[in-house]
Amino acid sequence: MSQDPVIILGAGLSGLAVAARLVSAGREVLVLEASSRAGGQIHTFQEGELIVELGAEGFVARSRSVPALCELLGIEGSLVDQLTTDTYAIEGAELVLLPPGEAARSLGFQVPKEELGRGIRSLAKGMGQLTDALLEHVGKTRVEFGAPVKSLRRQAQALAVELDNGRSLHTNTVVLAAPARIAASILEPLALPESEPLGSAPLTSNVSVNLLYRSAQFRDYPSGGGLIFPDTFANVGLRALSLVDHKFADRVPQDHALLRVFFRPVGDALTTWGDARFASEASLAIAQVLTVSGEPERCWVSRWTEALPLFTPEYQIQAAAVDRALQALSIHVTGSAFHGAGIDAAVASAEVVAARLGA
């Protein structure tokens, strides 16, 4: 097996998880990340006692891959369970408790049926704690930020990784941990028929708004972890409301409440609405379903454009074909674009690739 450095394209969760496993096995790696931060769709804002998830808020409760990764990183003691899985539906002017798993089912979460109703897990300092631990384990000198990759080519018996700045790196092994359409662009010079469908892979976008209130602003605050909106509620793409301070302990300062409103943007809202419009619609929705006085103290708007793949049967077949074709070239794909949506699937995908490379 070649011991040349493995070049990993993408410092999201899956890319960093592969890197961590390889470093633990004594392999040398270089991680190239186009943006200025690591973690991909994990993005946690922390300020004093306040912890705000701008991206993924957790992983499926029965995950084995994520706890195993946390053990490798020495942070398994920070794993925390969801305090309550109670979720409500809006029926008229009332909140009605849903049967376990019904909320996830109605929202179309792409998780195994056995996970429905079991809630999620996280880390004490938010999901960003996982990213921070991964970076520390891999070593920041092995991760380059602001390094977008333009293309990947075969050159003699090696692989040439060409960056946007004209720099070219050579290796025998590449791990591709990028979103589907970015991956398609990087792979284009290889002219593989199997990779062409990645360029038109079905993707969904979402927007979330975190709002911080004082607890005293609410007259009646539900005891559960959240509620789902009817499809036609306000006709602005509202999907769900998470009562963050009820789902996980120690996320907000004393006497405060943190709520997160999720949108599946309708029409051209994603491109024409500013953050202020999303924040306004979120606070208005909260005022309609909960008795609240006044405006939130602070808010954070997170936009995830074309972030999540839809794992239709057709796309699963296409992703598997790409995986097989690229392995023959010593290119290994990992992450949610290829092996399933969600944190658990991303880490499990990374475990498979790392094991294949000798970790």
Kindly report, residue by residue over 35-48, the tens digit of the pLDDT: 999 999 999 999 99
What does the alpha-carbon distance between residue 201 and residue 229 come to, in Å, rounded to a whole number? 28
Q: What's the domain range around 169?
A: 6-40+130-200+310-356
Least confident of 27-41, 104-118, 128-142, 312-326: 104-118
Tell me the pTM.
0.92
Count how many domains the chain has: 2
Same domain, 106 and 230: yes
- 156-165: list long-range contacts, CB under 8 Å, 24+ apart: 159/7, 159/329, 159/330, 159/331, 161/7, 161/9, 161/32, 163/32
196 lies in some domain = yes
Same domain, 330 and 254: no
107 lies in some domain = yes
Same domain, 156 and 230: no
Which domain CATH number covers 22?
A: 3.50.50.60
53 lies in some domain = no
- CA-wise closest residue to 85 among 103, 109, 67: 103
Residues 7 and 175 sit within 8 Å (Cβ to Cβ): yes
Q: What is the DSSP secondary structure assignment for residue 343, as one 8-state letter?
A: H
210 lies in some domain = yes
What's the pLDDT band for 92 if we cut at 50, 70, 90? Answer: confident
User: Terminal CA-to-CA distance of the chain, rounded, Å?
Assistant: 12
What does the alpha-carbon distance between residue 124 and residue 77 come to, in Å, rounded to a whole number? 9
76 lies in some domain = no
Same domain, 303 and 248: yes
Same domain, 150 and 292: no
Least confident of 36-40, 225-229, 268-272, 334-338: 334-338
- What is the average per-residue pLDDT within 126-137? 98
What's the pLDDT band for 1 if we cut at 50, 70, 90? Answer: very low
pLDDT of residue 199: 86
Tokens of 176: 């591709």
Which domain CATH number covers 249?
A: 3.90.660.20
Same domain, 185 and 169: yes
What does the alpha-carbon distance between residue 69 and residue 16 come to, in Å, rounded to a whole number? 11
Tokens of 270: 């994603």
pLDDT of residue 337: 84
Residues 279 and 306 sit within 8 Å (Cβ to Cβ): no
What does the alpha-carbon distance between residue 270 and residue 278 come to, in Å, rounded to a whole number? 9
62 lies in some domain = no
pLDDT tens for each residue of 217-248? 999 899 999 999 998 888 899 999 999 999 99
